[in-house]
Amino acid sequence: MLEYRCHGVPSAALPLVPDTAMTTQTLPIELYYTATPNGRKITIALEELDLPYALHPINIGRGDQFRPEFLAISPNNKIPAIVDPEGPDGQPISIFESGAILKYLAEKFGRFYGSSWRERVKIDEWLFWQVGGFGPMLGQNNHFSRYAPEKIPYAIKRYQDEAHRLYRVLDEQLQRQSAAGRDYVAGEDYSIADMAIFDWSRGSDNHGIDLAEFPTFAAWRTRVGERPAVQRALAITLEPSQQVSAATDEKARAIMFNQR
């Protein structure tokens, strides 16, 4: 077996980030937002953490996501993104990708992210499961079942099957957690993994999911949905002029589904 060694001068281990969790936020966190499941993950987290924030609507059906000032903080031309004026070392920081934002907020304020390294790894598993699978696959399912002008039976079945598989995987995880006396997706308690998954899971009807098949999932969704912070986040509405839906607007479909 080959052994690799680093012969450089050993450097001191980096401290955990941040070394001490913050308890206050003076200036509002700037949130670039659209009222979609990816956007709501962050309003849920901000409400749960009781932080001051300012909402900047990004109308992705009209191309706001391609404005240079938005691309400067979110180069993948997608919401959500934040700017925290009180970032590391007290300097501003911008962050894109919902998982990175949730981890940043949880680490900064030392909440909703378990209390041990082991627990954080478990929360990360389900956070990344959402960002890499549950979100994108349900998104493709929406695309081929609801938005695509051409109904392609192969694509529709492929993503409906995958959506069903993912709901089954989630339900089984919640059953394991329940057997261990835990009410939430990962670790001991409610975490950023639940925040990431919750709003995507509200679309289960669109994904052909029968709740009777997944009662543990259904009970978890009700439990999360009853949290006051989640209800405050869900109550945020944008002016119709600030949000157009690809389901009903041809111009929005042209902008969102013809990118190269």
Ligand X SMILES: N[C@@H](CCC(=O)N[C@@H](CS)C(=O)NCC(=O)O)C(=O)O
**What whole-number distance in Å separates Cα of residue 199 and Cα of residue 97?**
16
Q: For the window 113-152, what string marks contact with ligand X as x by the rule CB under 6 A? A: ------------------x---------------------
**What whole-number distance in Å separates Cα of residue 150 and Cα of residue 250?**
14
**What whole-number distance in Å separates Cα of residue 173 and Cα of residue 127?**
13
In the chain, the amino acid numbered 192 is I
H or E element, residue 214: none
Stretch that binds ligand X, among 46-54, 71-79, 167-175, 231-239 (CB under 6 A): 71-79
Q: For the window 180-219, what string marks contact with ligand X as x by the rule CB under 6 A? A: ----------------------------------------
Phi, psi angle pair for 11, to nearest 5°: -100, 155
Q: For the window 240-259, what string marks contact with ligand X as x by the rule CB under 6 A? A: ----------------x---
From the list 33, 48, 78, 141, which residue makes contact with ligand X (rule: CB under 6 A)? 78
Interface of this chain with ligand X, residues 18 to 47, rule: CB under 6 A = 34, 36, 38
We find the least distance from the C-beta atom of residue 111 to ligand X, in angstroms, to be 20
Classify residue 235 as exposed, middle or buried by CB count within 10 Å of its CB (0-12, 13-18, 19+): exposed
In the sheet that holds 53-57, the strands lie side by side as 53-57, 29-33, 81-84, 93-96
Three-state DSSP at 93 gives: strand
Nearer to ligand X, 25 or 38 (CB): 38
We find the least distance from the C-beta atom of residue 34 to ligand X, in angstroms, to be 6
Nearer to ligand X, 177 or 243 (CB): 243
We find the least distance from the C-beta atom of residue 78 to ligand X, in angstroms, to be 3
Handedness of CA 224, 78, 167, 147 (dihedral sign): positive
- Give the binding site for ligand X (CB under 6 A): 34, 36, 38, 60, 65, 77-80, 97-98, 131, 256
